[in-house]
Amino acid sequence: MIHQTRRKPTKGSKLGHVRIIGGRWKGRRLKFIEVAGLRPTLDRVRETLFNWLMHDIHGARCLDLFAGSAALGIEALSRGAKEVVFVEKNKKAADFIHKNLQDLEFSNYKVFNTSAEVVIKKNETPYDIIFVDPPFFQEYLQTTLKSINNEKFVTPGTLVYVEREKHSDEIEFPENWERLKEKQVGGLEFYLFSIK
């Protein structure tokens, strides 16, 4: 289901590239628009994450909450996710998500060009896997984790991936989240939780 028209990038917009690491579209390079705060998850981080999710991704309903380049959600679709919901506040970035998904001929997705806060207020159906990778050095993460920790987003067994900048302020993860995996790469630290 498509919620937005497809547009060309504005003149002078800088483009970046991201590569799909595995699954149906392994090796395919995708373009994304470079906008403030958007940084695709590194290849080696995605490779680690999807090794962690190897037995869970196929058939999963996923939420890419701060989609950006949509690298995480598109990787999930390439590897057999049942559906991915992308949330991206920046209009230009959301347009590129549409274009890439259409070029890859996926149909099992939704793209919402709105803020995570709006989706958090309106969401009604929980997910199997949630990717939480907000812009760095902003106060999104703590409030987002608290806001999605309810039956409208998660149920026991839901997996939540969290990526954040290393050495940032201490984060209190919800008590009902079991930390399954964690790793640091360069200036990043990332985690995989399971909801109890």
Q: Who has greater pLDDT, 167 or 122?
A: 122
Residue 6's pLDDT is 35
Which residue, chain included where needed, has tokens 């380049």? 69
Question: Is residue 8 over pLDDT 90?
Answer: no
- Across the range 104-127, mean pLDDT stands at 95
- Across the range 178-192, mean pLDDT stands at 94
- Across the range 111-128, mean pLDDT stands at 95
Closest by alpha carbon to 79, among 57, 62, 95?
Answer: 57
Question: Is residue 168 over pLDDT 80?
Answer: no
pLDDT digits (tens, 9 = 90+) for 84-95: 999 999 999 999
Residue 16's pLDDT is 83
Helices and strands, counts by H and E, the chain: 5, 9
Q: Are strands 177-185 and 159-165 parallel, antiparallel or unpaired?
A: unpaired
Residue 114's pLDDT is 96
Instruction: Please check whether residue 64 is in contact with residue 72, taking contact to mean a CB–CB distance below 8 angstroms.
Output: yes
Partners of 33 in the β-ladder: 15
CB-neighbour burial class of residue 137 (10 A; exposed 0-12, middle 13-18, buried 19+) = exposed
pLDDT digits (tens, 9 = 90+) for 41-56: 788 999 999 999 999 9
Model confidence at 7, pLDDT cuts 50, 70, 90, reads very low
Q: What is the DSSP letter of 167?
A: T
Q: For the residues of 61-119, what is the DSSP string, one character each? A: EEEETT-TT-HHHHHHHHTT-SEEEEE---HHHHHHHHHHHHHTT--SEEEE-S-HHHH
Q: What is the token pair recorded at 21?
A: 């690491």
Residue ranges of domains in the chain, CATH in brackets: 15-195 (3.40.50.150)
pLDDT digits (tens, 9 = 90+) for 130-157: 999 988 766 789 999 999 999 999 999 9
Question: Is residue 165 over pLDDT 50?
Answer: yes
pLDDT digits (tens, 9 = 90+) for 57-83: 999 999 999 999 999 999 999 999 999
In angstroms, the CA 194 to CA 146 distance is 15
**pTM summary value:** 0.89
In angstroms, the CA 147 to CA 123 distance is 11
Closest by alpha carbon to 101, among 40, 15, 31, 17?
Answer: 31
